[in-house]
Structure formats: structure tokens, C-alpha cells
Amino acid sequence: MTSQYFYCNGMLPESRFLQFPVDDSTKRLMHKEKYWQLHPEYYALNADGTRNDGFICMSNEDALQAATNEVLELFKTRPDSFSFAFSPPDEPVLCNCPQCTKATNGGFEGEGWGQASDPYFTFVFKLTSKVAVSYPDRWIITLAYYNR
């Protein structure tokens, strides 16, 4: 599929209809210029101790609230928007903080196959529940494929 296809079908991130969760769009939830300096802990912890500005720490409750606020703000300022879509980068992204590591290995009562699905979808479900309080008629869209 081409970007022209997505455009014609109203599936781009800017679309007011059904958005398509393009890779690397979790950045829409955590704008670097807004959070990077003040809250580096909102971003995924690399194995070497640095932070990854392309991915979120899925276990940080304040990061979850900040991401939720971004979605709520979109629906508030664009009441004609029906969905908010996001997807992690197309690479094996993981957060190495203790909570995400625990979740990745079954600590959140998932199967824990050493993949990011447990912390990622726990984050998505929590975000969706928070948004649904104010906007139960909107859609949160993400992708389920390699490493999430």
C-alpha cells in the first residue's frame, strides 16, 4: 500500500477518520520537545543506561498519564476525530527498566515470552481505559506484530 492509498482512505495520522498506526508513531504520544528534558524517565531505558527518545517506558504511570493527555487533547481540540493511532518503531524496542523487564518476563501475569507484548499491551489497555472515561465512542488503534 502506498501513502496515496492511506491518504485517499483517510488513514493518515492526521486523518479525522480511521487512522493507520504507522511505525514509529508512539512519538505522537510523547513529544520529545515537551518531555525529553523534564522527564527523561518517560522514555525507554536502553541497556547502556541511556534513554531511547523513540519509545516510551510502558511501566511509568506518569508517562501513561502524559500519553493519555495527548490523546484527550486531540479529541478535545478536534471533536470530529474518531480515532488515535500509534505504533512503536519497526525495530525490537524494549525498555530495560526493572518494571518493564519484569513485565516482559511474565511479571504482569502474561506468558512472558521475552517480548515487549506484555508491557506494551498493558500500557495500551490502560491508556484506552483512561480515554474511554471521557470519549467512549472513539477508537485507539495500534499494531500487533513483531516484538509487541
Give the span between the Cα atoms of 21 and 4, in whole angstroms.
15
> How many CB atoms are located within 10 Å of the residue 116 CB?
23
SS3 54: strand
Contact region with Zn ion (CB under 5 A), list: 48-56, 79-87, 88-96, 132-140: 88-96
Confirm if 114 and 107 have CB atoms less than 8 A apart: no
Closest approach of Cβ 47 to Zn ion, in Å?
12
- Give the strand pairing for 83-85 and 51-56: unpaired
Q: Which is nearer to Zn ion, 57 or 64 (CB)?
A: 57
Closest approach of Cβ 58 to Zn ion, in Å?
6
Supply 109's cell numbers. Answer: 501475569
Closest approach of Cβ 133 to Zn ion, in Å?
24
Does 57 bind Zn ion (CB under 5 A)? Our answer is yes
Half-sphere exposure of residue 65, counting CA atoms within 13 Å on the CB side?
Answer: 4
Contact region with Zn ion (CB under 5 A), list: 35-43, 55-63, 80-88, 102-110: 55-63
Give the span between the Cα atoms of 100 and 58, in whole angstroms.
7
> Which one of residues 29, 30, 95, 131 is an interface residue with Zn ion (CB under 5 A)?
95
Supply 79's cell numbers. Answer: 471533536
> Which one of residues 29, 71, 85, 100 is an interface residue with Zn ion (CB under 5 A)?
100
Does 97 bind Zn ion (CB under 5 A)? Our answer is yes
> Which one of residues 19, 25, 26, 59 is an interface residue with Zn ion (CB under 5 A)?
59
Q: Could you list the residues that contact Zn ion (CB under 5 A)?
A: 57, 59, 95, 97, 100
